[in-house]
Amino acid sequence: MTRDGIAGGLLGVHAGDSLGATVEFKAWSEIRVQYPDGVRDIVGGGPFNWPAGHATDDTDLTRAVLLAYLEPGADLVRTAADHMVDWYEGAWPGRKPGQRPADVGNATAWGLRKYVRTGDPRDAGAGRGKAGNGSLMRCVPTALAVTDRDRRVRESMEISAITHDDERCTVACAAYNEIAAALLAGASPADAVTEGRDTAAALDAPVVADAIESGRAMRPAVLAASGPGDAFPGGAGGYVLESLTLAVAAVLDPRPYPDVVIDVVRVGRDTDTNGAIAGGLLGIRDGAAAIPSAWVAKLQFADEFTAAAETLATRSPSGPSFR
């Protein structure tokens, strides 16, 4: 299960990202008219006219963190930051050298530019009050690569803070990765969610713990049918805690990966990132084999992520500990 779960986590992010890219920024009501049954295949398009299966910033930055774990230097956080800068400055697959990404979040751009100026990845965040989901979307490689809990929590927060150093973001990443690590170790979704909530509480971030608890009461199918409504005052439009809540609701949904991810995307607004964040947990829960093969065949980094999963599983065949 560990190898399949690791591959599921990576491919789950990628597939959720690529599925949601087609309707990024569209409101629930718009998606309902255009896709009454939801986006059910990876077809590309969207506001940036993505080729089908092409990585957006969600998958690209997940890859940047993953590369740090596959080829760590003396300072893993710095290595991750350097790969993010490569992405930002155009040294990246699928782009001409020097060509900037089509889509970059404001906090991500701010943090990476600051890192380039200061050379310190631990003093490069966008600052308090910037609580977007741009670090949560890329954090899962830490859960898949690190078996020691204390190190996993620390690195989750430090890698978040390269760009997103608001406590809501750093603790959300740590809590999400404890959910992911628990799933990878064989915990039930309900127990894994409890692990994430307890992590947030132990880090003295009750607002993050509350966001996780809120996910227990939500049903993606209901949100997809009725809209985000009062459940998400921001319309699931990029606030880190709304994305975390939606991912918790998704992983607690007993339906298989594709059904849940399709409904997560139907909620609207930040559809690629919400799909990626929820897709990572669902992919670990269900394994890579649960992701439709027709989707995987289109993913830009499918082969690379599958090979990376093999490498990570070989390094830690017993899987992570989470207690």
Phi/psi for 86 (5° steps) reads -55, -45
Tell me the C-alpha distance between 212 and 127, whole Å: 23
Tell me the C-alpha distance between 161 and 322, whole Å: 22
Please, which residues have CB within 8 angstroms of residue 129's CB and are 6 or more apart in sequence?
166
Helical residues (DSSP H) of 45-93, grouped into ranges: 57-70, 76-89
Tell me the C-alpha distance between 163 and 109, whole Å: 8
Long-range contacts of 172-175 (CB under 8 A, 24+ apart): 172/136, 172/200, 172/208, 172/211, 172/240, 172/241, 172/244, 173/135, 173/136, 173/139, 173/142, 174/199, 174/200, 174/203, 175/199, 175/200, 175/203, 175/205, 175/208, 175/209, 175/212, 175/244
Show binding-site residues for Mg(2+): 56-58, 270, 272-273
Helix, strand, coil in percent for the chain, rounding step 5:
65, 0, 35
Provide the β-strand partners of residue 11.
none
Show binding-site residues: 56-58, 270, 272-273
DSSP-derived letter for residue 270 is S
